[in-house]
């Protein structure tokens, strides 16, 4: 992460420092057994369950806070419009992204303080750091699953401080996260952002992973769209606005040339799985291994008050759709209790 997130801040009360904790490969075990890890994967599972068979075009009742957060994202999109790409040739990303990133750093703190007035300053600092970092790296001008994770931590943090409620879970995915995807894709194209890592390592396409998880949950028990159809261009065009997974495939088809099985072999292989349920379960396991289990990603994640880097005493049950034992509501309630304790 960047200077905005690595700055050490000592909090009053619990003397918790907001900083990176995973310094070497040997620290990964501590991360995977931490409260932060348990809260984060619990959030991914809770949101996953909330959009089970819920397409993007299903009408949802939006709370005032969802509307407020959507307005924040729309404002960020306006800032992208404000910052034109540089006209000179850029081999590794357009340096105008750094200008946009500086706007995020300077403007977002005030916006969040105003819109999240019920949240104390300590948590505002962390939430701001997570959302600022979720749009990419201003030095390398790249974007990857670590930045995507930062946005998910921002959303999870909003549940932990009781800004978002259980009733907001569907809209968290289908409205807020979906809008975030539109914005980062615009950044990737407008500023010619590089995939983080080695040509999109630790992602299913060059940039993302989580929308494939939650997108596959939307398709569970879908009688009309078998997994083998998502590589069919006509099918993609028909359903790209309805299902997040198909929207991801559409973006790949826009930015990559050639045969799908050659440029996206991993996704091509997934199309051979028999059910969306199995795909969803497999993607969550893969995410834990290929993203949350990778030192090059987690070394940049800061921990503090919202995500505590200390051993998790009572791990929350982790469940996939076919064996869901803990409903999304109880997982979200536990996230709140963790932050309050």
Q: What is the pLDDT of residue 197?
A: 73
Q: What is the pLDDT of residue 91?
A: 72
Q: What is the pLDDT of residue 265?
A: 76
Asked if 5 and 282 touch (Cβ cutoff 8 Å), the reply is no
| Pairwise CA distance, residues 205 & 214, whole Å | 15
Q: What is the pLDDT of residue 316?
A: 62
Strands 302-303 and 194-195 turn out to be unpaired
pLDDT digits (tens, 9 = 90+) for 223-241: 889 988 888 889 999 999 9
Structure tokens at 150: 């930062």
Q: What is the pLDDT of residue 100?
A: 98
Q: What is the pLDDT of residue 323?
A: 36
Q: In the chain, which stretches have pLDDT less than 70? A: 1-16, 89, 198-203, 261, 316-341
CA-CA-CA-CA torsion sign (238, 240, 241, 245) = positive
Q: What is the pLDDT of residue 6?
A: 40
In 52-186 the beta strands, taken as DSSP E runs, fall at 142-143
pLDDT digits (tens, 9 = 90+) for 308-329: 999 988 776 544 444 333 334 4
């Amino acid at each position: 992460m960047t200077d905005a997130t690595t700055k050490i801040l000592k909090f009053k009360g619990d003397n918790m420092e907001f900083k990176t904790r995973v310094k070497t490969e040997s620290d990964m075990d501590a991360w995977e057994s931490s409260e932060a890890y348990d809260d984060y994967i619990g959030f991914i599972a809770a949101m996953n369950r909330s959009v089970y068979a819920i397409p993007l075009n299903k009408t949802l009742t939006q709370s005032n806070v969802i509307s407020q957060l959507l307005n924040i994202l729309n404002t960020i999109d306006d800032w992208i419009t404000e910052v034109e790409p540089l006209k000179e040739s850029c081999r590794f990303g357009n340096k105008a992204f750094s200008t946009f990133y500086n706007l995020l750093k300077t403007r977002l703190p005030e916006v969040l303080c105003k819109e999240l007035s019920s949240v104390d300053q300590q948590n505002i600092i962390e939430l701001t750091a997570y959302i600022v970092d979720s749009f990419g790296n201003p030095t390398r001008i790249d974007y990857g699953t670590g930045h995507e994770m930062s946005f998910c931590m921002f959303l999870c943090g909003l549940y932990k401080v009781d800004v978002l409620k259980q009733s907001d879970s569907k809209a968290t995915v289908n409205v807020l996260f979906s809008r975030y995807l539109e914005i980062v894709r615009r950044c990737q194209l407008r500023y010619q952002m590089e995939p983080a890592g080695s040509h999109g390592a630790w992602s299913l396409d060059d940039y993302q992973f989580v929308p494939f998880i939650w997108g596959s949950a939307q398709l569970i028990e879908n009688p009309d769209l078998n997994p083998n159809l998502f590589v069919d261009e006509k099918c993609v065009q028909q359903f790209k606005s309805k299902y997040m997974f198909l929207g991801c495939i559409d973006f790949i088809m826009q930015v990559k040339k050639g045969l799908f099985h050659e440029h996206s072999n991993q996704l091509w292989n997934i199309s051979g799985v028999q059910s969306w349920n199995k795909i969803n379960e497999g993607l969550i396991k893969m995410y834990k291994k290929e993203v949350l289990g990778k030192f090059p990603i987690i070394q940049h994640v800061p921990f503090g008050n919202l995500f505590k880097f200390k051993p998790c005493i009572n791990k929350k049950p982790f469940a996939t759709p076919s064996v869901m034992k803990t409903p999304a509501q109880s997982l979200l309630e536990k996230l709140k209790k963790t932050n309050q304790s």
